[in-house]
Homo-oligomer: A and B are copies of this chain.
Amino acid sequence: MHTRTVFVISDGTGITAETFGTALMTQFDIKPRIVRIPFVDTVDKAHQAVRQINHTGEVEGKKPIVFSTLVNQEVVTVIADHCKGLLMDMFGTFVQPLEEELGMKSQHRVGRFSDISQSKEYLDRMEAINYTLAHDDGQTNHDLTGADVVLVGVSRSGKTPTSLYLAMQFGLKVANYPLIPEDFERKKLPPALEPIKKKLFGLTIDPVRLSTIRNERRPNSRYASLENCRSEVHEAEAMMRRAGVSWLSTTTKSIEEISTTILQEVLPHRLGMGMHG
C-alpha cells in the first residue's frame, strides 16, 4: 500500500515534472502514489485540483506532496492560497533567481513549459523517428550515410529500443545492424558498414542475460542456448575490437544511460560540448 500521495500539477502535460518528482521520491524509503493532473490552465481547473488534493489529504491523514510547474500567475495564486499540501513550486523557485541574473522578466507563456510544439526541432524529431524505423534491424542499406549513428550488435542486445530512444529524445537518425553468424564466418563487419565506420557504435551484453532474453522469444532453441550466446557475443566483441568500433555492455544499464554514453562517444557536440568558439 502507498504511504503518501504525490501530486504533479502542470498547465502543460506535467510529464517532465512527473519524471523529476518520481526520481526525487526514489531517494526516500516509501512507496508513494503519484497522481498527475495535466492541463491546469484556468482558475476553475485550479480550484478543482485543490479540492482533489485537499480531499486526499483528509482521507489519508497525511499532507500530500505537490510538485507544480504552473506559469499562469492566477492559477499559481489559487494553488498557493488554498492547497493544504507541501507545495514545491518548480517553476517559481527557479524563475525568480533567473529573472535577477538575466535582468529580464520571464514571459509566463502557458504551454511553452515542458512541451515541445510544432517547431523545426519537433518536425526533425518526427523525421528522425521515421528514418530510425525504416533502418531498424538492417532492413535497408539505403541512405545509410544520412544516419547520425549506426548501432551494431548481436540480435537482442538492445539496439532497437536504444535507436528509438535516441530518435525520440534527441531527434537523431539512427540505423541499427545485427551482427549475424555469416558476419562471424567472414570475420568482417557487414560490407555496407565499411564507408560509415566513424558512425558505428557497438552494443554488447552478458551472454547469460542474452540467453534469458532470447529464451523468452524462442524457448529451447539453439539461437537462445547459452553456448550459442557465448559464442556470438565473443565473436561480436572480437570483431568490434578488430574494427576499432567503440562499444559498451547494455547488461546493467538503462536506455537513458546507454544513449548518453553513445552521445559522449559518437556525437559529443550533441551534449553541447566543443561548440564553443
Question: Known contacts being A104-B28, A273-B35, is A254 close to B116, with CB within 8 Å?
Answer: yes
Choose among B23, B33, B38 the residue that contacts A113 (Cβ–Cβ < 8 A): B23
Q: Are A107 and B28 in touch, CB under 8 angstroms?
A: yes
Q: How far is the CA of A250 from the CA of B15 in the complex (A)?
A: 18
Which of A88-96, A190-198, A229-237, A240-248 touches B?
A88-96
Interface hits, A217-268 → B, CB 8 Å: 252, 254, 256-257, 259-260, 264
Q: How far is the CA of A233 from the CA of B167 in the complex (A)?
A: 28
Question: Known contacts being A24-B94, A108-B27, A114-B23, is A272 close to B33, with CB within 8 Å?
Answer: yes
Report the count of interface residues on A (CB-CB < 8 A): 79
Q: Are B126 and A161 in touch, CB under 8 angstroms?
A: yes
Q: Are A86 and B91 in touch, CB under 8 angstroms?
A: no
Q: Which residues of B contact A254 (CB under 8 A)?
A: 13, 115-118, 122
Is there a chain B Cβ closer than 8 Å to A71's Cβ?
Answer: yes
Nearest B residue to A264 by beta-carbon distance?
B38
Q: Are A271 and B38 in touch, CB under 8 angstroms?
A: yes
Is there a chain B Cβ closer than 8 Å to A30's Cβ?
Answer: yes
Copies in the complex: 2
Bits for A52-82, please: 1 = Cβ < 8 Å to B, else 0.
Answer: 0000100100010101010100000000000
Q: Are B29 and A107 in touch, CB under 8 angstroms?
A: yes
Choose among B26, B98, B122 the residue that contacts A28 (Cβ–Cβ < 8 A): B98
Choose among B30, B101, B109, B264 the residue that contacts A102 (Cβ–Cβ < 8 A): B30
Q: How far is the CA of A39 from the CA of B262 in the complex (A)?
A: 13
Q: Which residues of B contact A129 (CB under 8 A)?
A: 160-161, 164
Q: What are 12 sample pairs from A and B whose C-beta atoms fall under 8 A apart?
A: A15-B169, A15-B260, A27-B95, A28-B98, A30-B102, A33-B275, A39-B260, A59-B276, A67-B94, A118-B252, A118-B254, A130-B160
